[in-house]
Chains A and B, each alone.
Chain A
């Protein structure tokens, strides 16, 4: 039954509640992020675009989204 409990992940310094078993791809959809517009990291490690759908999130995970910007 434990896997049916909702989970909370930390996304860019705020908490987001998700159903248990949610994937990184589903989090992007929930946040209305275009898949190709951001890069993703889970607990400090890069997760490639094609691996997001198979990357299940766990309670307490820390997710970061990155996007392109000007730079020196």
Chain B
């Protein structure tokens, strides 16, 4: 169930779902649509491609229709960009084609890890914010980079959990916890690298505000069921965070309120 009393606010928009879903790589358009419905996501990522490349078999149009039915907004990305200049140009195209100022800013600095280039990212974010975009930066968990992006005018940060598509979960717990602790009032969305619903729940339990993923659902044996599982995990993790997790302890503490020994064995 959505939690109307606990909306995620981004750019003045209240979202009941904290699960952002990517739309690429599904076995068929029909499965993509069913997965969107099962996820109950209200933010769907989309992309742009050169027209010389093959089409998507109608997947995008169907996905948009499925998303519209649950109040989903589109979040176009700048996937494939390697420089701020490229990303800025692509963002403008995305705004024109999709009719939204929201942009998932990706500027990749390494081909092997698909790690964001922090310097180009800040440069692109600064320019795009000046030009009226609402920038969702795909970044690392680096605190100083996060601050620079916020200074540039990004309304939120989207640190990676692990490299894109790797399914490794939250690799740098210390860094992610530090980011959360040092930026307590910033919307933080774990983007990329999640492979299992338990990892999404973990992210939410740590206090992250939402998760964004694609491959873990699209590449599942049953993407529709997996979309539902991730949705449940995100809701459970959020609920647990709000409920307040107990503090871990390094020693045992009996939960049954007995005092002393439960039975007297006698002195014989």
What residues make up the interface of A, taking CB atoms closer than 8 Å to B?
A: 12-13, 33, 38-41, 44-46, 48-49, 64-72
> Quick check: is B30 within 8 A (CB to CB) of the other chain?
no
Give 22 pairs: A residue, B residue, CB < 8 Å, sorted on A.
A12-B52, A33-B51, A38-B97, A41-B93, A44-B89, A46-B96, A65-B51, A66-B48, A67-B49, A68-B48, A68-B60, A68-B76, A68-B98, A69-B48, A69-B55, A70-B24, A70-B32, A71-B24, A71-B79, A72-B25, A72-B47, A72-B215
Q: A44-B89, A45-B89, A46-B92 are in contact. Are A69 and B49 (CB under 8 A)?
A: yes
B92 CB contacts on chain A under 8 angstroms? 39, 46, 48
In the assembled complex, B143 has its CB within 8 A of some CB on chain A: no
What A residues does B50 contact at CB under 8 A?
Answer: 12, 64-66
Chain B min CB distance to A49 (Å): 6
**Once the chains are docked, how many angstroms separate the CA of A64 from the CA of B25?**
24
Contact B215 A66 (CB under 8 A): no
Q: Which residues of A contact B181 (CB under 8 A)?
A: none
Inter-chain contacts of B17 with A (CB < 8 A)? none
Chain B positions 23-52 with a Cβ under 8 Å from a chain A Cβ: 23-26, 32, 45-52
Given A13-B52, A49-B96, residue A69 in contact with residue B47 (CB < 8 A): yes
Segment 74-130 of B: residues with Cβ below 8 Å from A: 76-77, 79, 85-86, 89-90, 92-94, 96-98
Residue count of chain B within 8 Å CB distance of chain A: 35
Secondary structure of the A side of the interface? strand
Q: What is the distance, in angstroms, from A19's C-beta to the closest C-beta of chain B?
A: 22
List B212-239 residues whose CB lies under 8 Å from chain A: 214-215
Chain B residue, CB-CB nearest to A48: B96
List A contacts of B85 (CB < 8 A): 44
- If A12-B51, A13-B52, A38-B51 touch, whether A72 touches B164 (CB-CB below 8 Å) is yes
B152 within 8 Å of A (CB atoms)? no
Of the listed residues A13, A40, A46, the one surrounded by the most CB atoms of chain B closer than 10 A to its CB is A46
Across the interface, do B48 and A70 meet the contact criterion of CB distance under 8 Å?
Answer: no
Asked if residues A68 and B45 are in contact (CB atoms below 8 Å), the reply is no
CB-based contact A67/B51 at 8 Å = yes
Q: A41-B89, A46-B92, A46-B93 are in contact. Are A72 and B51 (CB under 8 A)?
A: no
A72 and B77 contact, CB distance less than 8 A: yes
- Per the bound structure, the CA–CA distance linking A54 and B214 in Å amounts to 40
For B90, what are the chain A residues with a Cβ–Cβ distance below 8 Å?
Answer: 66
Known: A44-B86, A69-B60. 16 other contacts (CB 8 A): A38-B97, A39-B96, A40-B93, A44-B89, A46-B89, A48-B92, A64-B50, A66-B49, A67-B48, A69-B46, A69-B55, A70-B22, A70-B23, A71-B47, A72-B24, A72-B79
